[in-house]
Structures are given as C-alpha cells and as structure tokens.
Amino acid sequence: MTRLAVSRPQQTGHIPVAGTPSEARTTEHTTSDQDPTVPRVRNEVRAPVRGHVVQAGAIHGDVHLHPGREHTAVPRQLPAAPRWFTGRAPELAALTTALDEAAHSGATVAISAIGGAGGIGKTWLALYWAHRNIDRFPDGQLFVDLRGFTPLGEPMPAGEAVRGFLHALGVEPSAIPTDPDAQAGLYRSLVADRRMLIVLDNARDTTHVAPLLPGNSACTVLVTSRRRLAGLVTTHGARSLDLGVLPEAEARRLLTAHLGAERAAAEPDAVEAFLACCAGLPLALSIVAARATTHPDFPLSMLAEELRDHATRLDELDAGEIPLNLRAAFSSSYHALCPEAATLLGLLGLAPGPDISLPAAVSLAGLPAARVRALLRELETAHLLAQPAPGRYRLHDLIRLYASDQARHHHTEDSRDDALRRLVDFYLHTAYTGDQVLDRHRESVALDAPAPGCRPHPLQDEAKALAWLDAEHPGLLAAQRLAVERGWHTQVWQLAPALHTYHWRRGLLADQVTLARAGLAAARQLRDPAIQAPAHRLLAEICALVDRHTESLEHLHEALTLAKRAGDLPSQAHTHRVLAWTWGQQGEIQSALDHAAHSLSLFQALDDQEWEARGLNQTAYYSAQLGHFEQARAHAERALLLHRRHHNRNGEALSLSVHAFLGLCTGRHTQVLDYGLRALALFRDIGNTFYEALVLDCLGQAHDALGRHAQAREAWRQALELYQAQHRSAEAEHVQRRLAGLAERERAG
C-alpha cells in the first residue's frame, strides 16, 4: 500500500532544486529522526514537475513531495460545454448542493456519481455544470474518458488514466514511477489540498475509478457511469444522482434549439413525431436533429415518416458515426451483461404491456424467483431497466426496441414462443384466480394447465385481487393482444370472462367490450358451440351496458339458439338473464321482467341458490319499476337472505340497493338512506365503483326530497365523478341536470 509523507531536506541531504529528467541519482540513507512509519527508501528518483520536485521511491513505492514549491502546472482538460443544453435544473442544483455541503462540513473530497442509461446525457450534465462552476476550481480541471462502455476497443485501464493525469500535472514522462501504486500515490500527492475538479467519465464500475480518487484533498470529483456505483457510495461517500429521460417540455426545447425555432414551427406534426419516437432520450433527439440539419432543405416530415416504423427506428437513429449511433450506444451496455441477464433483457423487450412485475418476469424467464430478482437488479444497475415502483420494472421505448431486436437475433422462435406463452398464461391464470376471489359463484370457464415454467400469482382475498388487477390491467389487455397476434385462440377467449367481474366493478366497460369482441372471434375459430354461446352472451351483456342494444340482442338470440340446440339449461338461464338486462336498459320493463322471471324459474329448477338470489334481485328491480311493490319487496328479502347465506357481499349489496330503490319508488326516503348507506359501504369495501355511483345517485335523490341540499349536492358530486371516470355519459348528464336544478331552486328560494 502506498504511503505519502512530506520529506524533510535536512534529513536526507537532498537539495530541492528544479531540474531536468537527467537530474537523478541513487542513494541509500537512514536518519535517526526519520518517521518510523516510512520504510527505508532505496534508488530514489528526483522527479521534476515543472518548478516542483517530487521524490519517488522506485523500489518500495514511497513518494516524498517536497514542500515550498509553487504548483505551476494548472491543467484545463475539460472538453467544451455542450452547445445545446436544456433543463436538468434539479440535477444541476443537486451537484452544487453536494459541493457546498462538503465545503461547509470540511469534508476532504466531494464525489458525485452521475448514473443513467446510454444516451441519457450524463456527460453533458457533468460538463455543463463544470463550466458553470469553473471559477470554483482555480487549481485546474482534469478530465478523462475511461471508455467503460464503448463499442470500440476496451475500457481504459485506471493506470493509464493516472499516467495521463500525472503528465497533465507537469510530471515529466521519464520521472513517472514504474510501480502503479507509486504512480497513484504521486497523483494524490500532486492534487492534495488543491481546489480542482476531476471528471471521470464513462466508468465501468467502482474499481475502475478507485485509483483515480484523491485522498486528503479539496478536490471535487464527478463520475459518470451506465452502472449504479454502489461501492463508490458506500465506501467513498459519493452522492448518487441518477438521470431519467427529459420531460416533454425540456425535450421540445432541446429539439427546437437544434432545429431552429422557425423550422420547428413550420412542421409541428413532424416535431411531435420526433418527440414521441425519441421518448425524452437526449442522444436520440440529437441524432434526429443531426440528420435533419444535414439536409436543411428536406422536409422534416420525411424523417418523421422513417422514424414511425418500429422495425427500422433504431437504424434511422444513426447520424453516421459512433457517438451518434443509438444502436452502438446500447450495444456496449448490452455486451457487458452476464448471459442470463442479456437473455432476460431480450425477453423483456418482447413482453407486452408498458411494464412488468417480478412475478410476471419469473414466468417469462422460467427461472426461480431469486435468480430473476438478481438478474433484474443487474439490469437496473446497468440502467437498462427502471424500477419506477417497488417490484415493477419498465424499459425505455428505444431500449425495448433494441432488446427485442437482440432477442430475435440470438434466440430461436421456439424459445421466444415458449417464454411469451408462459407470460400470457401467467396473466390468464392469475386473472382467473382474481375473478374467482371477487365472485366465486359467477359463471366461469375451465382453464387448461398453465405452460411449464409458468408460476401464477396467488391472490388470497378481494383486496389483493383488486390491487393486482389494478396494477396489471394494462399488461392484461396487452397480453390478450399478443395472444391474438400469435393465434392462441383459447387464451384470447378465456381472458374475456376472466376480467368480466373486474371490469364491471371498476366501470371499465369499453375495455371489456374490446376483450369480449376479441374473445368471440377466437371462440368462433375454436368451432365449439359450448364456447361460442357464452362468448356471445359475454359480449351481449357488455354491449347492453354501453347502449349497443341492437348488437346485444343479436348476440343473445344467437347464444339462445346455441344453448337450446345443445340442451344446455344453465346457458339458457344466463341468456334470459342478460336478455332481461338488455331490455331493461332500453326501457322495455315488461319484456325485461318476463325474461328475468324465466331466468329465475330455470335457476330454481337447477337448484342453484346463488343464481336464484341474483334472479330474485333482478325480478324485484323490474317489478318495482312496474309498481309491483309487494312482490318486489318479497323477492328482495329472499335474495338478501340467500346472499348472506352464501357469503356473497356483492349480492348482499345489490339486495340492499333494491330495497333502497323500492324506498325511492314509494316515497320512503329514510328507508332509502338506511338501505342505501349500508349498500354503499359494502360496494366501497369490495371496490364495486360501478354500483357505487348508482347508489350515490339514489342517495342524492333521497337527501334532496328530505330538504338536505348540502348532502344531496355532495352525493351527486361523487356520483358524477364516478360516472365521468367510467365514461357513462347518459348517467352523468342526468346527475348534472339534478345538480343544476338544485342550484336553481336554491337561488330561487
């Protein structure tokens, strides 16, 4: 280990005179008062440093720096500041704060580690900040590109960087010690107590930069790397600063600065396309601008059209040389990964959806969870993957394109197909589990066993099921789209009923229409009447909810024909149930009641008490609308009893809602509040926002009738928010009219 000590001329007999490389001599000495921690020095070299003499121990590696000489070598190695730089105000402030706090606390050295993906602008940030603060480093600035991630050649050894710094600090080449430890010691001696900035750009890892860190120094160090340098933080006290993509406004300013305001304003559609394709990545924006400025007379729309093609986008993001080649920028990070991490990155590039959870990634990879977690950590450390929320991982759009390209080049079609099938099965089987937790008695389908290596996620209760479905909803929709593309008809069809309860409860009706429509198309491809009938019925039910009544009735008549042909009584009962709903949505209440009664009788004949209870609720609701209040009340009471017996909280809430509706029909407004508030609490507890909105609407009417205008307004306000969020425009308009009427009455009275 190198030790530094201040040599005392009177102890060694050396005369500290500046000289040339030829001024060297061999000597052996000991002194009685020599520092006992410094070993005997042999073959000392008196190393000229342009007005400063350094003695370097050639054998033992001890370095003795003579005091009393002025540092005449003041390096100015910073490359030019980036011409176009925008935004990054929080990051710039963080770097300044780190320097100020180090100075205030008396810390020996301030180190900031700037991390981020290739092309994110780490070097630009470091140089921009450095030039803005250059007056704070009067003793010079050192800069080195360590080439830690480069498509050309190998990373620069730390020893080579040290020797470069020594030369910049004025050490003659012949005076540089041969021992690497001695070189590092000499470097630290020369920067000790100097107010310098040292920029270590593009570091591979902590060990790559450790020899270049000052010791007891007033220096400030900026390190940039595509990896998170945890060792630099924990061992050397560095401040970590990770860069993300530019926000849309900052990306627009950067692009406009490159293109020129007039040219950008002339073709706003092309500019929007550039921003969308580059997704906030500064290097990508610069490449686009470089290509555009190469041909200033060409319309921007030509380049925009080329970039819109996902298959060739990475090829278009190439300005003709390595620093401006996005594929090359990503490749150096990719090739630094271990083989398993590189494989996983490729599969993540193929995976559907905007992000992915750890359990989903486990099925995608077909590996144990602990191993997948470690591989995801490696990808995150390499800034090829972000973790915006605990346990959820996201690829930048351009990295996703690169990763999927690598998967197609390096993995067979069968291996890619197997991985994606495991992932789709993960979504399907976990969604099915969630559907059963939310409504275990509802009509469902029988799933085949998941693909080998697929590990569906367990969901123990309604809260966990809803939380998982909320988090995974975009991935579930994307999984069905992927299954459609791959021709996996069974998975396409089965995902539709697996998400039906969730979509109904959350009021995500348009999404369920899309899934059910794709499910019916897949069921037709499977040519199985037992599948086609429920597929028709599923689509019909959601079409009725979104006021597509003609389409709903067409599918229901087809479903009823198939069910009768097969002699399938449960299917006939469910079809009449949905027919009742469809006619009721159109205001044809007698037809709705007829089909509801037919459905109820079939469920009673099948001795299916759970569905009998639902049939009773439906029959009670339409009976109340026709003024058959006693019959409605009897059916609602029986339904409430059965739902409680079978522990169906959603059914219980529906029965309470029917009682509240009965109170509204008969002018018993305190009854509305009694039953309605209990129903509301249950709907909120189980996350059924669809019916929550209806109950709030009903409660608002009761409060209004009782003269409680403030309570009515609040109930209607909440109902309106839910209707609007669920895109239920007709119901929203009704509530808006009620709110307007309430306001008018208050102004008049």
pLDDT digits (tens, 9 = 90+) for 689-748: 999 999 999 999 999 999 999 999 999 999 999 999 998 998 999 999 999 999 999 888
Q: In what order do the strands lie in the sheet with 197-203?
A: 141-145, 197-203, 220-225, 110-115, 239-242
- Identify the band that residue 215 occupies on the pLDDT scale cut at 50, 70 and 90: confident
Can you tell me the mean pLDDT for 456-471? 94
Can you tell me the mean pLDDT for 378-403? 89
Which structure tokens are listed for 194?
Answer: 């100097």
Q: What is the C-alpha to C-alpha distance for residues 229 and 206, in angstroms, rounded to an integer?
A: 6
Beta-strand pair 110-115/239-242 = parallel
Can you tell me the mean pLDDT for 78-83? 87
The pLDDT value given to residue 53:
42
Q: Give the residue among 124, 127, 164, 166 at the shortest CA–CA distance from 146.
A: 164
Side chain identity at residue 120, one-letter code: I
Residue pLDDT, tens place only, 566-620: 999 999 999 999 999 999 989 999 999 999 999 999 999 999 999 999 999 999 9
Residue pLDDT, tens place only, 548-580: 999 999 999 999 999 999 999 999 999 999 999
Give the position of tokens 């594929």.
327
The pLDDT value given to residue 318:
62
SS3 382: coil
- Identify the band that residue 323 occupies on the pLDDT scale cut at 50, 70 and 90: low
Residue pLDDT, tens place only, 357-387: 999 999 999 999 999 999 999 999 888 898 8
Alpha-carbon torsion, ordered 478, 482, 484, 485, to 10 deg: 140
Can you tell me the mean pLDDT for 307-336? 71
The pLDDT value given to residue 27:
32
Across the chain, mean pLDDT equals 86
Residue pLDDT, tens place only, 227-282: 889 889 888 888 999 999 999 999 999 999 888 899 999 999 999 998 988 888 88
Task: Give the global pTM.
Answer: 0.74
- Looking at the DSSP bridge assignments, the partners of residue 47 are 54
- Identify the band that residue 106 occupies on the pLDDT scale cut at 50, 70 and 90: low
